[in-house]
Chains A and B, each alone.
Chain A
Amino acid sequence: MSQTLYEKLWQDHVVHQQADGTALIYIDRHLVHEVTSPQAFEGLKLAGRKPWRVSSIVATADHNTPTDHWERGIEDPVSRLQVETLDANIREVGALAYFPFRDPRQGIVHVVGPESGATLPGMTVVCGDSHTSTHGAFACMAHGIGTSEVEHVLATQCLLQKRSKTMLLQVDGVLGKGVTAKDVALAIIGRIGTAGGTGYAIEFAGSAIRGLSMEGRMTLCNMAIEAGARLGLVAVDEVTIDYLRGRPFAPQGEQWERAVVAWRRLHSDPDAHFDCVVELSAADIRPQVTWGTSPEMVVPVDACVPDPASEPDPTRREGMQRALSYMGLRPNLPIREIWLDKIFIGSCTNSRIEDLRAAAGIVRGRKVAGSIRQALVVPGSGLVKQQAESEGLDQVFIAAGFEWREPGCSMCLAMNADRLEPGERCAATSNRNFEGRQGAGGRTHLVSPEMAAAAAIAGHFCDVGEWL
């Protein structure tokens, strides 16, 4: 019988199934970071349990770590205790790999996993972090879990799950100038809404998706959670296999050959049935900018801020009014007339080498506008940073007036010192524009790295397609 990719992955991981459909699903890779794991390790210890398979664990510290003055360590004592607790837990328990604070391979867990080859096609990948959906770019069943489930995976190597419904998100055609995977993701969320994917595993397919690099596919799957989906998926192809070849934890030699054969079946069968199909034409997608406090509040750069008065649904209208008030925007203001205070290029959505190359391509030989108070580039990992520096990208950013930082989650969620002050407006390449996300009272506009770079130069939003 024909199967979707999700159904193949599901079937391949069922250890046991109960009468009500709840299944025990085996977990291949467990990514761990400092924020959502301490209570899980403590729970394990209190119950007198041992981790089931420590070689499934890849850990790093990313959310709390500072992105400058590493020689000073972590100055916030509360953050420091959390990072030290992870150090102690991994020291006691063990792991396949641990990239602690200041390790050259440390970085955002969703950047580190794929670049080290610890994320492999066909795996189940979990982490106490919603953006674990990122790893679906490798045809992994990958999703975020809470701390109780982190403990459950540590203790049993399994999770209790119900099978999701399947959604095919078909994007065909060629993306226009300055249109990126981030714009595709935001356009999809604009179309189906932040709850549009709830209960679904979304598979992204079509010629526009096939045309994306692994970095682009990771950006897309990363944002699947912002559409409410449990996970996002892209089928394996040559792009996937080429990316993985030679990575430290990827198989080698005869094992590589065997693995590639197994990976090549990780796609939906041609006549597989999906519970829901959504189609977008790549050519219709313009560079996107969010105007509100939910990723679904998004419009093309050439549009204007919407007017709540034209929204018939009262709950939505109130939500729009509240968002505009929080964002300090008026209805019908052209997006291009929104001026920024800060620029943030980074996060598990858009901090990989390709993102930095694209942004550097825009800023090269130009200067950050005088009205911009701060423009940050935060590479996704130490290895991304090294690579960028070997290509001279750091010098391009610094010459333009950007700050070139150490890797980490940084201003995406502002758990460290990188944050917006109340009222500050930021063009960010991250994934959430919720109230207070980047700092209490901060105002976030989500965009692609290219769009953020162009906004840094101009001081306001502009269509980066016109710069290329």
Chain B
Amino acid sequence: MDKFVRLEGLVAPLDRANVDTDAIIPKQFLKSIKRSGFGPNLFDEWRYLDVGEPGQDNSRRPLNPDFVLNQPRYQGAQILLARKNFGCGSSREHAPWALLDFGFRAVLAESFADIFFNNCFKNGVLPIVLPATEIDALFALVGATPGYRLLIDLERQQVIRPDGRALPFAVDAFRKECLLNGWDDIGLTLRHAELIKAFEDRRRIEQPWLFA
């Protein structure tokens, strides 16, 4: 996993509540057995005018000019500004894989669905919860300011606006450490292998039917 320390990047707004993982990456692309290559199909049904299938040459497909990410001013965006309950629906990790592959490293929203939120941290994508008033203000600023950028400082847990206003955000200490260092948490867990073994041995004696 790539480290996430500071990110200064262009912001793209996606002004809808309850954006689900079927919208983020439709099911036909989940047939892949790889972790990469999902970016061209991010938001596929909103982004293109035709129906997407795996294996297409996406560069030849007709783009939906009304979809926000197709607008020239948001090309190269690394920060996605979203509404409440972003990432609801399935557990597919293909959703953060697609966001990352497209170029997003952070998503700002009023709230996130639980599994999606968790999956982001495993992939070096930072989901940031901000109060509704701040999200509203950011939507207004992004809409009114071509090239609007934000600075995200994970160490200080702040989103810093160009006008200098700093928006604090919460993040679990452990997840923060993992992101700052790009740690593989399987490796961290295996440092506790002896504890796991002891727990398992005890459980096997107390509830042997769980180990049939």
Contact = CB atoms under 8 A, between A and B. Distances in A.
A16 interface: yes
B62 to A, nearest CB: 14
Interface range on chain B (Cβ under 8 Å from partner):
35 or more
A130 B190 contact: no
Chain A at the B interface: SS class: loop
A144 B113 contact: no
A435 B21 CA distance: 10
B200 A157 contact: yes
B209 A440 contact: no
Given A15-B195, A228-B85, A20 B23 contact: no
Contacts of B15: 315, 318
A204 B202 CA distance: 31
Scoring B35, B91, B111, B113 by chain A CB atoms within 10 A of each residue's CB, the highest score goes to B91
Contacts of B47: none
Contact of A55 (B52, B90, B118, B211): B211
B59 interface: no
23 contacts: A15-B196, A24-B195, A26-B196, A120-B210, A130-B89, A144-B90, A146-B92, A146-B115, A152-B189, A156-B190, A156-B193, A156-B196, A195-B113, A198-B113, A249-B212, A251-B209, A251-B212, A255-B209, A259-B207, A318-B15, A413-B90, A415-B31, A422-B51
A178 to B, nearest CB: 28
Contacts of A20: 172-174
Contacts of A15: 192, 195-196, 199
Interface in B68-97: 83-85, 88-93, 96
A262 interface: yes
Given A195-B84, A434-B22, A145 B186 contact: no
The 3 closest A-B pairs by CB, nearest first: A251-B209, A146-B93, A148-B122
A49 interface: yes
Contacts of A47: 184, 186
A249 B212 CA distance: 7
A203 interface: no
B28 interface: yes
A342 B5 CA distance: 50
Given A63-B30, A434-B20, 16 more contacts: A16-B192, A22-B174, A24-B195, A26-B200, A47-B186, A144-B91, A145-B118, A149-B118, A152-B186, A198-B113, A262-B207, A316-B17, A413-B90, A414-B27, A432-B22, A437-B22
